[in-house]
Amino acid sequence: MSKFGQDLIESAREALAIAEGRAEAARTVALPDVDVSAIRKRLGLSQSAFAAKFGFSVSAVRDWEQHRKVPEPATRAFLKVIEKEPEAVERALSAA
């Protein structure tokens, strides 16, 4: 059996053990909602400038702010980092 096949079987066994209460799931992080508009306004940026600076589309920023869409979990995590440490994000993105 291939390594992938062995890993798949092991993953299924682990999932069953968690479902049956014989094992605990790995740590998960509950990401809070983010107020994209508040983050953007605190940084003094327009929607287009915010989108350009951090790699979002303007339409995504608009949809999040108007609550038509909710950012995906990874995007919410990124937005939380922008909220807390915008300068660090800017440094990291400019070094790319």
**Tens digit of each residue's pLDDT (9 = 90 or more) over 7-36:** 899 999 999 999 999 988 887 778 888 999
8 A C-beta contact, residue 20 and residue 13: no
Confidence at residue 31, expressed as pLDDT on a 0 to 100 scale: 81
pLDDT tier for residue 96 given thresholds of 50, 70 and 90: low
Distance CA 43, CA 85 (A): 11
Tell me the average pLDDT across 52-80: 96
Calculate mean pLDDT across residues 43-70: 97
The pLDDT of residue 71: 95
The residue ranking higher by pLDDT, 37 or 30, is 37
Tokens of 34: 């983010």
Mean per-residue pLDDT of the chain: 92
CB of 15 within 8 A of CB of 64?
Answer: no
